[in-house]
Amino acid sequence: MPELTSSTSPAGEDQVASRRDFVAAAVAAAAASGTAGSAQAQPAADVRHFNPPGLSSPPAYSHVVEVNGPHRTIYLAGQTGVDANGKIAGDFRAQTVQVFENIKTALAAVGGGFEHVVKLNSYLINIEANADEYRQVRASYFPNKSRLPASTLLQVPRLAQPGYMLEVEVVAVLPPKQA
């Protein structure tokens, strides 16, 4: 493999070229050992981006991204306390219930449920005042206490729209779709 060298030129052209040589050599070595070939032999994942009925239709992102391969990995955009008509639910508890109902709707659109959720990232604007209530509502959607998802709970100074009190992102894993 080519040796990486330091560059003394102002533009760093020698360093960039040596990095290119290094990467090219690494790819060649991987191909020679069969690593690249086996990676190419893997079937390509089928990726679908969509906004299921029952959720709002945002212009800048998809609520659901489904990756179908050896298993289906589902990525849900951060869900807020907004209903399908774009109306924000009232207090914190109402927004939290709306968030989990939105998640339920999105999961159902791909044939899943809360039992398929493997990771939650939750963002609250006032963790001291609302964490306990958030945990109570969340727990009601995950009745199987032996299979709880990994979970991160963070406080943020604000969310995308005034009035949002929380946002929850979800990753779920489902069996592959049958053809």
Read off the pLDDT of residues 119-177 as tens digits, 9 standing for 90 and up. Answer: 999 999 999 999 999 999 999 999 888 888 989 999 999 999 999 999 999 999 998 88
Quote the pLDDT of residue 2: 41
Residue 104 has what pLDDT? 98
Q: What DSSP state is assigned to residue 151?
A: E
Q: Looking at residue 176, what is its pLDDT?
A: 84
Identify the residue with better confidence: 88 or 179. Answer: 88
β-partners of residue 73 are 67, 173
* Position with higher pLDDT, 28 vs 123: 123
Average pLDDT of span 46-66: 81
Residue the block writes with tokens 């995950």: 142
Query: Which of 137, 3, 9, 38 is closest to 79 using CA atoms?
Result: 137
**pLDDT value of position 26:** 45
Q: Specify the pLDDT at position 43.
A: 55
What per-residue confidence (pLDDT) applies to 179?
Answer: 66
Q: What is the mean predicted confidence (pLDDT) over 68-91?
A: 93
Contacts of 170 (CB under 8 A, 6+ apart): 74, 75, 76, 79, 103, 106, 107, 117, 119, 120
Query: Confidence class of residue 46 from pLDDT cuts 50, 70 and 90?
Result: confident
42 has a pLDDT exceeding 80:
no
Q: Which alpha helices (H) appear in 34-91, and where do they start and end?
A: 35-41
Enter the pTM of the model. Answer: 0.68
- What pLDDT, on a 0 to 100 scale, did the predictor assign at position 45? 64
- Residue 106 clears pLDDT 60, i.e. is over it: yes
What's the start-to-end Cα distance of the chain, in Å? Answer: 45
- What is the rounded CA–CA span in Å between residue 31 and residue 38? 9
Cβ–Cβ under 8 Å, residues 120 and 135? no
pLDDT given for residue 12 in this prediction: 46
pLDDT of res. 56: 86
Mean pLDDT, range 62-90, rounded to an integer: 90
